[in-house]
Structure 1
């Protein structure tokens, strides 16, 4: 049996032999490491969106927007503790909102757009402290403001959509200084706006949707200079493609576009002028397959698309028509369709209804055989309606609804490793959590405070670390080494009793593997060792409850007869 097979077999034993609970009784503490910690209660907490980041990190602090009550929606920061959660500045003084949004880390600061009556919407910056929170510049003097949005960092500069004096809303750029903030591209030349939207980093360039005429949007790619800007399609300027969901995979950029003959389908480009084409007409005719949830996974694009006869299902593409295929027909005819594609670790998660288990989390490796129901969180035909919140250290945090209400759950990609994080608000309603951001190994999230209470509470949960220690004798007999009888007692410690696997590696080759039960494992070295000193890497692979850890030990084999 190969080392990979040994580890797989041990994992199978762990999963089949020890099945931890998958839900909590109302009011019970967390099932995953420590309980989520309550940081502060707010009137409301903003979450942002795909193109409007709801938080950013600087100096070990997460910067976000919330309404603390007296000062309206303003800029706050947290280090993941109650004492380290505080208002940075009341930018629009009093109960009125400055509505901070579009948070991005750049040039050693967090940048965000905020409003005041005197400046309109402009860039503000912070180092995570009240004294370091200030207006960057009133780039468009007066109350109209630059109204910056959709910031993307590329090559030591930050690009964004904003209003430029005399040019309308175009692509702007800054190097972090007022003098270095300027118009990058005037897409629609003159005072009218080109409205660059959906700005997305694609390798060392940016892709975006730009306006070329009234009601006509086209796909572009740029290196940030006029000379390095190209329109990706060759269709007449009168054809409105309305490109959306730019996603990079390798040297390709994928997007969806509304073709007059094919409807909305998947397109692909290598970033060359006019080279964008429909990858495959998945739903022949003008109706379109309406691809959504475009997601880079390994070296392919995974997405949901509609096809007559199967409905909206999981598809995979390598950028060619022949390499664009249905992964698996999960949903019954007339189903809602797969959705919410999210990558965590080496797994792709999605939400689907197979007609038996309701809408539940599924997991996929990109193949039909490797696409399976992760867990039936709300057993039977009922649906838990999971919504992904964040990927933290290879695990997926999600919001799922069961008899305990809508509460946070966590998964490592296995049924045994999928469980409710905590029942934060007992009762059928639940806390209904949503993501604010990730601070290192800590997920900061928001949710409802209590049944019937409209206030929202900020919470944080940290993935625990683990420590691996090994008991090693001063020397081992040569006969025991020759007959593969050396056994190393291993202890893996964390805040909760751990399970999982431990592997022994010597010179890059696995020489042993064992199962961890309640933090303990006895691992036999399966390779014959010669006399002398042997460096063995002892690695705990991690589990739903703790991070991986490792240590190196020296095994000394004494000479024959000594």
Structure 2
């Protein structure tokens, strides 16, 4: 077979059934029968044939190989003569007309082999790039006004759902609304006017447009309910508000800080303010329709700002994010997905206490590798460094200390986060020596290292600041950076050897093409696309051919797979989550090697619908049933009524509310759709009548439902909430809970006595203890009473049990055998036989005390040795008939003094005789009376420790020896030693800045950010990277491209609208910027601006004064251009001779000219300045 021919051999037919669902776990391959794999074509399908794949949230990958056909070439071998595609240098593939800007509003994305982006030419519209024709075309012509166009994707950006592109756009008549474009019929349209009229709903302005669960999710403002969460259903073509978290016109403003983050294609997570709890984390369940608060992290109306620095991100079984409260500051929080009730919990207090650890992903996503997520954070000792969270043991670990000390290396701050390159984490960091450069960290060996110092020395290359990072399967990452000799241009790092290289200097020299600034690097098939500019205006579309998927064998499929499934062009693996229902279809899988030889295999795929997302297909067609054990879902809409019953009754088996009246067809409620049914009129939207539209029927005509609408479903006179049998009108009460109604039960209270006998005895047949004396009416013990029967069931005083110990004082002659008589009726520890009740003590066996009163003399001390709670403390009372012995001054049932001659007295001696709260020993030490409750010692904090003995007399938690104000509970420290406590001092640290104007963390610090500049002089007291602002523009000099605001950039890179390219020789002095000879003296000073600089009289440093060079017609700004001076007398020859001769004749006249020259010097120097500025302008062009 010759090269260039195609071998298409259909050798095996594979049946693959994929069912739509949402369980999130692949169910794997269910082998029904097997067949050997045919390999004559050279392709082997590595799964059972025929086979069934049941889809949860993703399918089990379908894998192939072509080793039999192509040998090692199919396994990635690129040894010659095998030819593997190699990345090519960047080339421009399309010019954007009229110096237009590509992707300025949102960027660019790929869909179905095409690129889509917004472009301003100068009107903003949607554009398309077709790689097959290498051409671009303008798709939309939406008009907001004559100059602005449609402002495509300005607020919500782009989103793809079911092969349709969605975006926001602005039209003069409807404002900013949601639009769509379908490549299938090449049409675009506005999906709906959420905010009717010319007002704008601005869909996705804070959340973006997020595809999930077959719908599009976004925030929007309808002009009535305020800014809330909405969804758009492409099947019905309608948008609806998902939930109104903050009723009224203000709205909850979802996603302002965190955006909207989809979790497992089911749960959108976002921040919102419901008007009560402040800005807190929320989640919506697309399956149940419920929306829930995940916790009031910062209690009350104060915001916790969840996901502001570290967006919601799943790692393992946890969803992590940053949030802030007053106790811990900004720290790492998480939600356990496995818990029944999702609730946010603090998992790491990185900087313990109220200071903030500030877990941060650097304006983009953190990196997740295995069960760990990587981000930046700071603690008490270290500045911002690389940290990670382990979802297994829920611990945080610092992984680097690139810049020792409190300043930190600020990882990820300019690389837009942390990026996983073949298991290695790439990020920007500043070690204090090399500037912001590219660093790598290996989780395997726990080491970090500088990948490349692209701009030598302390100058920063800012890797990924413009573009972010785009990674490939081969371990490459593309990013924009500024390397030595070039501006911001595309670079690549290869994870196989960690080498970094410049792809191309698109805009040669120090100027920048600002590659991927608007679009990022977008990979489509094997190629990578991005925006770049060759001049100061506009940007164009560029490509790196073969940037990824560089295997010698390329795989394709035809026709296109169901949406959500994709084939790998590298190894042919089919994977993904199908979201599009498809009939049984045959697909041709082709593998083509580097010589152009193609081999093929055929498979069949069917995607079965699952309306209620319960993991069971709605219907398994008969022609497919022989391949699977799956059966059709008997309740497709999961409303609690089988499909067959719904078909017979006329309701829809695919709709929980067939007549859309707010009452569910079946007994299952669907939050936000309909209330509990069953609807007695499932096909009549006018019945049941619901006048106020609250989904509660005005009346229930037939007594059969809907249950939630009727207070009494069975019309028995008892409301459902109090009716034990709400659907049985013959019974409503079940006293004993035995599921037999009282009207049918012969023993309602199940006490062992029939109801008829209880009525005869006068007892209550619904109460196990009619007289509530703790003895059951019948022979059975129950929770509320002991075993009976009670011989006096309707007399609570009989049988008597004085001490309540469950033993009767006197046992009736007819009492049941299970009862025992009490021989100590009052429970004081003395037997009734010795408590004779005579009032006189005769002997230990005849004490005369009352057998029914544990304290015969009422002095609070029991007759016997037992304590009787609430009556008396332990005795024995040595004088049971004398209320004054033992003596108890404060009546606390503790004897003031215990006589050693009372051997049978078990009570405790009172440590505080007068009961004033101070022990007798304490009062003795503090010179107050232990017998007078009105005489108490000095006690400032009222802790019952007198001041002389109290180590913290004011009770402020600070020991007296360490307390600057030991008698003031409101102050204990004085940071600035001004005699005013820190809590009372309006300027606690004495730095001249009032506390109310300082950051809370800086009130007790003279240099809060520890950058060496005192807060009083530091315009950025909490930013360790900034400490000066020469031009007072609010941007620190380290970040400001034009520190002194003279419109000349500090460096060589220009920033349009801010400054022209420099460098500025005097970046911190607005009066000067030029020093031609680099001698530290300025060529000139701008008039009217104060400066300490000295003007250089010899700008080019060639030894000739500027005025002399002008007089001698040489260039004062070119050190190589000097006047002719043969005799080296520092006077040019031609002019020198004339001067000598002229002075001889016209000396006085020449002297006059020289004096006049002193006055025109400023005019000459101004001419030089204009010439230099003109030169700079030409260089920038």
- For Structure 1 versus Structure 2, the TM-score category normalised by the shorter chain is 0.5 to 0.7
CA deviation profile, 1:446-475 (whole Å, cap 9, x unmatched): xxxxxxxxxxxxxxxxxx99799xxxxxxx
TM-score scaled by structure 2? 0.33
Q: TM-score normalised to the size of structure 1?
A: 0.67
CA gap 1:308/1:178 in 2 versus in 1, 3 angstroms: same
Are 1:99 and 2:209 counterparts? no
- 8 Å contact kept, 1:203–1:248: no
Q: Check the 8 A contact 1:541/1:549 in 2, yes or no.
A: yes
Please say if residues 43 and 68 of structure 1, whose CA atoms lie closer than 8 Å, have aligned partners that are also in contact: yes
Whether the 8 Å contact between 1:374 and 1:414 is mirrored in structure 2 is no
- Deviation of 1:219 after TM superposition, in Å, equals 1.3
2:471 matched to 1:343? yes
User: Which residue, out of 421, 443, 447, partners 1:323?
Assistant: 447
Give 1:374's aligned residue. Answer: 503
Matched, 1:255 2:362: no
2:599 is matched with: 551
Q: Give the one of 129, 143, 157 matched to 2:249.
A: 143
1:61 equivalenced with 2:189 (yes/no): no
Q: Secondary structure in 2 aligned to 1:355? A: coil
Shift of 1:66: 1.6
Contact 1:121 1:146 in 2 (8 A): yes
Tell me the CA shift for residue 336 of structure 1.
Answer: 3.6
Deviations 1:116-137 (A, max 9, x none): 2311111111123784222223
Q: Return the alpha-carbon distance in structure 2 between the equivalents of residues 392 and 219 of structure 1.
A: 36
Deviation string 1:463-498 (CA, Å, 9 cap, x unpaired) is x99799xxxxxxxxxxxxxxxxxxxxxxxxxxxxxx
- The question of whether the paired residues in 2 share the 8 Å contact of 1:230 and 1:272 is answered with no
Q: Distance in 2 between matches of 1:11 and 1:337?
A: 39
User: What residue number does 1:264 align with?
Assistant: 384
Find the counterpart in structure 1 of residue 138 from structure 2: 38
SS in 1 for 2:279: strand
Give the total of aligned pairs: 433
Q: Distance in 1 between matches of 2:222 and 2:381?
A: 47
Paired with 2:179 and 2:172, the residues of 1 have a C-alpha distance of 13
Sort the Cα spacing of 1:109 and 1:281 in 2 relative to 1 into closer, same or farther, 3 A.
Answer: same
Q: Establish whether residue 406 from structure 1 lines up as the match of residue 539 from structure 2.
A: yes
The aligned residue for residue 484 of structure 2 is: 355
1:286-301 aligned at under 5 Å gives the runs 286-292=406-412, 293-301=417-425
1:251-285 Cα offsets, whole Å, 9 max, x none, are 11111123343222111111367621221111112
Mapped to 2, the partners of 1:325 and 1:413 lie a distance apart of 29
Q: Structure 2: 5+ residue runs without aligned partners?
A: 1-70, 98-127, 142-148, 559-568, 573-588, 602-1181
Distance 2:347 2:287 in 1: 30
Secondary structure of 1:371's aligned partner: strand
User: Are 2:284 and 1:174 equivalent residues in the alignment?
Assistant: yes
Q: Contact 1:222–1:230 (CA<8 Å) still a contact in 2?
A: no
Note if 1:23 corresponds to 2:92: yes
**Is the counterpart of residue 391 in structure 1 residue 538 in structure 2?**
no
The aligned counterpart of 2:456 is 332
Deviation at 1:14, TM superposition (A): 6.9
Q: Are residues 210 and 504 of structure 1, via their aligned partners in 2, closer, same or farther at CA, if it must alter by over 3 Å?
A: closer
Please identify, of 123-132 and 107-116, the stretch whose mean Cα deviation from structure 2 is larger. 123-132
Give distance in 1, aligned partners of 2:172 and 2:294: 39
Deviation at 1:11, TM superposition (A): 7.6
CA distance in 2 between counterparts of 1:503 and 1:261 reads 48
Match of 2:646 in 1: none
Task: Give the superposition deviation at 1:401.
Answer: 1.1
Q: 1:169 to 1:108 in 2, by over 3 A?
A: same
CA separation of 1:85/1:537 partners in 2, compared to 1, >3 Å: closer, same or farther?
closer
Unaligned runs of 5+ in 1: 418-463, 469-501, 506-535, 543-547, 554-562
Please, which moves more after superposition, 74-83 or 57-66? 74-83
Moved over 6 A (4+): 11-14, 27-31, 464-468, 502-505
Partner of 1:539: 592
* CA 551–233 in structure 1, closer or farther in 2 if over 3 Å, else same: farther
The answer to whether the 8 A contact 2:507-2:513 is kept is yes
> Cα–Cα, structure 1 residues 217 and 10, in superposed 2: closer, same or farther, change >3 Å?
farther
Distance change >3 Å, CA 22–CA 192, structure 1 → 2: closer
Structure 1 residues 125 and 549: alpha-carbon distance in aligned structure 2, compared to 1, 3 A threshold: farther
1:160 counterpart SS class: strand
Mapping for residues 467-478 of structure 1, pairs under 5 Å: none
Residue 232 of structure 2 corresponds to residue 163 of structure 1 = no
Q: Could you list the per-position Cα deviations for residues 79-137 of structure 1 after superposition, in whole angstroms to 9, with x for gaps in the alignment?
A: 24784221111222222221111221223211110012311111111123784222223
Relative to its length, the structure with more strand (as a share) is: 1
Query: Is the 1:303–1:316 Cα contact (8 Å) retained in structure 2?
Result: yes
- Report the Cα distance in structure 2 between the residues aligned to 1:549 and 1:171, rounded to whole angstroms: 55
**Larger C-alpha radius of gyration, 1 or 2?**
2
Determine the C-alpha separation between the residues in 1 that align with 2:317 and 2:77.
Answer: 42
- Of 330, 343, 363, 1:217 maps to 330
Which protein has greater RCO, CA pairs closer than 8 Å, 6+ apart?
1
Distance change >3 Å, CA 236–CA 378, structure 1 → 2? same
Distance 1:235 1:11 in 2: 56
Q: Are the counterparts in 2 of residues 39 and 82 from structure 1 also a CA contact under 8 Å?
A: no
Secondary structure in structure 2 of the residue aligned to 1:290? coil
8 Å CA contact 2:78–2:84 kept in 1: the answer is no
* Deviation per residue, 1:139-183 (Å, 9 max, x gap): 322112222112222243222212236322222122126851121
**More displaced, 1-10 or 324-333?**
1-10
CA RMSD of aligned residues (A): 4.0
**1:232 to 1:87, Cα distance in 2 relative to 1, 3 A:** same
Q: How much does 1:247 deviate? A: 2.9
**What is the alpha-carbon distance in structure 2 between the residues aligned to residue 200 and residue 290 of structure 1?**
21
Structure 2 CA distance for partners of 1:205 and 1:395, relative to 1, 3 Å: farther
Q: 1:116 aligns with which of 203, 222, 242?
A: 222
Matches within 5 A, 1:415-434: none
* Secondary structure at the counterpart of residue 78 of structure 2: helix
Q: Relative to structure 1, is the Cα distance of residues 190 and 330 closer, same or farther in structure 2, using a 3 angstrom cutoff?
A: same
